[in-house]
Structure 1
């Protein structure tokens, strides 16, 4: 009896210990879990922050596309260039064509030296002028252009309007008649009024190439010519020229002369042209120095070593290009 009572008491004590141990374990476990939870940051805040960062990054790297246009993906070359310096990649990147331009590559023509005829006066290249041809006795071929006797009598006098203060002097003109005949003449003289604009007064020798001299008057057309077979340009100083005053003339130029300049004071000084076809330096500046000639096409020739020797024709060994 007493043994049975003692066994029952031992079983009750064992159950109490188990219950206390289990409760203590649960309490310790709860405390540990609470401690762990207290030491960790709130997960909802982390998730919210991560989501906001991801949205910001996606907006930065994937810009919204315009309506009707697909967003372009980054090419490998663009990705690689992002690690390099921005300046070289920007420099190497060709500009995109605007929608109004053609996407096809444009052909670039080889660059050519510019040719201008803006220096021409009334007589311009590639223009055909209507007029009338008359005839005169040219004698030895001298005239208002002051060239002196002419070895070739294929010469003409230009009407005063187109003579234009001797700008026409030395010009080569192709003259054509209605019958198909033609002749090339050089302007050496001026035909005063009543010669009308467009009118040419031809030497008898030149007129005879178009029609009998007895015809006297003939409807023609004419145009400026840049001939092939010409010699070189010569320079002549006018009588009375000196280092203190001079007049300079160019002879034998293929194309009409637009300007004559002399080197003076470290630069070029343009001389005024007279109606007798000399360029004057009234104060003597540049007389005996370098001379620069410019034709109506803009070509420039510089001549050195021409001494002030009045009324002496001095060769330059240069000539304007043919056009």
Structure 2
């Protein structure tokens, strides 16, 4: 009995010793496992430098931008690089009114002169008188002009406005001369060859008190930087129109409009408009022929009543013989 009571305490001591050994061994094993883990550091440090921050494990992230793929050719970039979300906003340009329709012209040479009564290279004899030209307007319907070196052609040579716009060199018996432009008609009894000059032009040849003087005159084809313009008459439309040419260097012989089958010549009025009573060709291509036979074909002139629309072209100059 005595020996049994002594074995129980010994058993408990052994059990306690065994537990201590097991706990120590487990602690050593845990320390060894931690020491041998990849990265060898605490999870908190690995997270700060881990893949979520853009770097490799154990390194510090320097940029959030991915590196270009290996072997890819670098794209050229402007000097100021911007990210796609921050592209420069284009500068707004101010709204400009739509430009007026532009005109084009084709020039062709005529085969023969188209002169009427007044022909190039011919010197005419007549009488010069004078009148009050006021603002320079007249039967040719050109409108007011600051240039008052103008003349009214006698009714016969006016020839239903065929003389309108002609430049004339007028010479008096005393040798004095003046250049004038025909803008008006001198009605009967003005005789063929007679010119009724503005007072300003007549004064270049003789005193106004002379009243009537003998003169000679001939056509000029002057040097000019201006170009031909087109004007549609008041009330013009696609159904009826009157067309006028202004600023032509040489007298105008014909004005034609394009039709489906060719060109149609318009009738000329005494007030220097060419009429299309049924609207044929109104707003379409126009063909202008001067007295030398030269033709200008003009496109793109819309029907805008009373608007002077430049064409950008001019008849050729013909120096006087």
Structure 2-normalised TM-score? 0.64
What is the match of residue 142 of structure 1? Answer: 137
- Are the structure 2 counterparts of residues 117 and 136 from structure 1 closer, same or farther at C-alpha, using a change threshold of 3 Å? farther
- Equivalents in 2 of 1:116, 1:124: separation in Å? 16
Q: 2:213 aligned with 1:234, yes or no?
A: no
Q: Which residue is 1:265 aligned to?
A: 260
Q: Which has the higher contact order (CA 8 A, sep 6+)?
A: 2
Corresponding residue of 2:282: 287
Q: Which residue matches 1:93?
A: none
C-alpha separation in 2, matches of 1:225 and 1:164: 18
2:241 is the alignment partner of 1:246? yes
- 1:179 and 2:174 equivalent? yes
Q: Say whether the 8 Å CA contact 2:110–2:295 is kept in structure 1.
A: no
Q: 1:191 aligns with which of 186, 189, 193?
A: 186
Secondary structure of the residue aligned to 1:121 is: coil
TM-superposition CA deviations, 1:244-267 (whole Å, max 9, x none): 000000001000101101111141
Give 5+ residue unaligned stretches, structure 2.
1-107
- Counterpart CA distance in 1 for 2:173 and 2:311 is 40
Which residue in 1 is equivalent to 2:291? 296
Q: Which secondary structure does the structure 2 equivalent of 1:161 belong to?
A: helix
Mapping of 1:104-183 within 5 angstroms? Answer: 118-183=113-178
Cα pair 1:134 1:218 within 8 Å, conserved: yes
Equivalent in the alignment of 2:310: 315
Q: Where does 1:214-225 land on structure 2 (aligned, <5 Å)?
A: 214-225=209-220
CA RMSD of aligned residues (A): 1.3
Offset at 1:305?
1.1
- Secondary structure at the aligned position of 2:157 is classed as helix
Q: For residue 230 of structure 1, report the CA deviation from its aligned partner.
A: 4.5
2:200 partner SS: helix
2:229–2:310 contact (8 Å) kept in structure 1 = yes
Stretches (4+) displaced over 3 A: 113-118
Shift of 1:118: 3.6
Structure with bigger helix share is 1
Q: Which runs of 5+ in 1 are unaligned?
A: 1-112
Alignment CA distance shift 1:252-1:211 (3 Å)? same
Q: Is the 8 A contact 1:295 1:320 kept in 2?
A: yes
Task: Output one character per residue of 1:137-173: Cα deviation in whole Å (capped at 9) or x when no partner.
Answer: 0000110000000121110000000000000000000
Within 5 Å, which residues of 2 pair with 1:80-119? 118-119=113-114
TM-score (norm 1): 0.64
